[in-house]
Structure 1
Amino acid sequence: MTTTETVEPYALFRATVVRTSQVTPRLRRITFRGPDLAGMASAGLDQRIKLFFPPPGHDEPVVPEGENWYAEFRAMPDDVRPAIRTYTVRDFRPDALELDVDIVLHGDGHAGSGPGASWAGRAAVGDRVAILAPDARHTPILGYEFKPPADTAWSLVAGDETALPAITAIVESLPSGRQALVFVEVDSLAEVTPMPSAADVVLTWLSRAGAPAVGGGLLRAAIGRTTFPQGRPYAWLAGESSAITDLRRHLVNERDIDKELVYFSGYWLLGSAIE
């Protein structure tokens, strides 16, 4: 009798920090490496993964595995349960068993920051994490959302700095002959980073000039006064939840874009934590 193994879409991988670099004043790149990553897959684009950070006093996160892992995870004592946050794969190099994740540093990256930013602000070579990511044995790869229909004439891509890794990966992937309008809200113009693309991309950077993010305004205003190209659009929006929801409402109700052609995701919420 032949037994077929059931492969879940996601698996848990262990990895170690091998490099860190400051991409911009508020964006830190953490490079992970480990033999476990041989079993990981990524579709690129806005590929989502979850990172588990060890709690204070622990060298590595303890994460349950198996079918009921999340229930077991939530039941762990507070001083043992690792913090968990969702990020975008910035780059995955399976041949080198390396994974890059860009993490936004809030405040000073330490006190007053969330667990992900706090960890990233002090991350050093040798630090260990766990990663929930697509299993390379599973088809298809799940956990990414930038999927414009074949008849898309142009794309609108918009978000704040938390979406910058995904936006950059999306823009870099666009082929020659594709048209895109891209809007990125950042803390200041010091956060501007190169965004090469073979596509015809009009890129607009919107700076808060050091003012705190307040959940809307810049993206909505800039896109509201923009004349859209002709043809069937596809929109991808990500960032602070209330701002992105308002922007989606504008596109559907005021710009007459079919809601099925607008993907939107709240990467974070003012005054709250999103795992």
Structure 2
Amino acid sequence: MAELPVTFIQVTDITRITPRMARVTFEADHLDDSVGRSPDQQLKLCFPRAGQRLPVLPEQNDDAASWYQAFLAIPEDERPWMRSFTLRRRVPGTRTVEIDFVLHGDTGPATGWAGSARPGDRLGMVGPSAVYARPVSLTDSIAAADWLLLAGDETALPAIGTLLEALPKEARALVYIEVADHTEQQSFETAGDVTVHWLYRDGTPPGRSEVLPDAVRGAEFPPGRPFAWLAGEAGAVRALRRHLVNDRGLDKGSIDFSGYWRFKLTQDDAPTSEDMAEAQERLAEFQAAADDHS
């Protein structure tokens, strides 16, 4: 099992980039050189419990599985809340990282923390690591396709930003992004030939809108072989993937998909039967990809 980097990070700046998204800048106690060198790097943030200045974390060791077992052994009332994020940017040559937080107005530990965060506040950061990475480079998969399809909601915006900014000149991408309304639009720098479609829920609650699946179903795709990247609410991601496989004829190996969140459920809730089936399928695909490139 690959090593799982663990460090503490401290807030140095907070910027509200849209009404519902905050970009928090952190200084890490230590940071591997590989962090920030590729797009869509996944990590975990650990939030302290009430009354704690720092989250309680096991010391880093050389085995991810044993570290996580030690994490689970922390008494529940002391164990940090752990949530998944995408690294938005690492400032080159520094230990400074930027992570975007969706402010969705509920009392969850991540959005609650981000709504009141101040410079000097500290969190734990686990990863980025090969533990969370695809067995085949995402960059290589994109480069092997004729064009790229990106589709997701606002929780996918940090990853979409890194993917677009990593596109080489003349690479083609078709992008569909669901957000609350027009005030949530962002701009991205890219060398690629990119068409972005912003889709608005306009009052429909997140997780209940069909605007993203409907837009992709009705889209006219460019010619050639695409690579699809899908992320956001798990039900919408599953619907998009079924459409691409069953109606568009895409090979499952040409689709990278992640259910970042689940309607009315948190990461602390038990997985549903659909979650378990999806996890088993992802595991089988990852193993097949690893075998093909071993």
Q: Could you say whether these structures have the same fold, taking a TM-score greater than 0.5 normalized by the shorter chain as the test?
A: yes
| 1:133-172 pair list within 5 angstroms | 133-134=127-128, 143=133, 146-147=138-139, 148-172=141-165
For 2:78, which of 77, 80, 87 is the aligned residue?
Answer: 80
Deviations 1:6-50 (A, max 9, x none): x94321011111111101111111111034125662343111010
Residue number among 254, 259, 263 corresponding to 2:256 in the alignment? 263
Q: Does the aligned pair in 2 maintain the 1:216–1:242 contact within 8 Å?
A: no
**Cα shift at 1:85:** 0.4
* Distance (Å, rounded) in 1 between the aligned partners of 2:190 and 2:92: 23
2:41, 2:128 within 8 Å by CA — same for their partners in 1? no
Return the letter of the residue paired with 1:250: H
Contact persistence 1:186–1:207 (CA under 8 A)? yes
Match of 1:208 in 2: 201
Count how many residue pairs are aligned between Structure 1 and Structure 2.
261
Q: Residue 59 of structure 1 contacts residue 128 of structure 1 at CA under 8 Å; is this kept in 2?
A: yes
For structure 2, the residue ranges without an aligned partner over 5 or more in a row are: 269-294
Is this contact kept in 2: 1:41–1:141, CA < 8 A? no
Map 1:182-193 to 2 at 5 A.
182-193=175-186
1:171–1:195 Cα contact (<8 Å) kept: yes
Hey, what does 1:3 align to over in structure 2? none
* TM superposition shift of 1:197: 1.3
Q: 1:58 aligns with which of 52, 56, 70?
A: 52
Do residues 90 (structure 1) and 88 (structure 2) align? yes
2:22 — aligned with what?
28
Indicate the residue corresponding to 2:226 in structure 1: 233
Structure 1 segments, 4+ long, off by >4 Å, are none
Match of 1:124 in 2: 118
- Counterpart amino acid of 1:26? R
Distance 2:35 2:181 in 1: 34
Aligned partner of 1:224 in structure 2 is 217
1:19 aligned residue:
13
What percent of counterpart residues are identical?
Answer: 40
Q: Paired residue for 2:282?
A: none
Give the letter aligned to residue 196 of structure 2: L
Q: Secondary structure of 2:231's partner?
A: strand
- Normalising by the residue count of structure 2, what TM-score does the alignment of the two structures yield? 0.83
Contact conserved, 2:28 with 2:97, CA < 8 A, in 1?
A: no
Higher strand share: 1
- C-alpha RMSD of matched pairs (Å): 2.0
Unpaired stretches in structure 1, ≥5 consecutive residues: 1-6
Instruction: State how far apart, in whole Å, the 2-side matches of 1:163 and 1:215 are.
Output: 17
- Deviation at 1:143? 2.7
In the TM superposition, what is the alpha-carbon distance from 1:235 to its structure 2 partner?
0.2
- Of stretches 92-101 and 198-207 in structure 1, the one that deviates more from structure 2 is 92-101
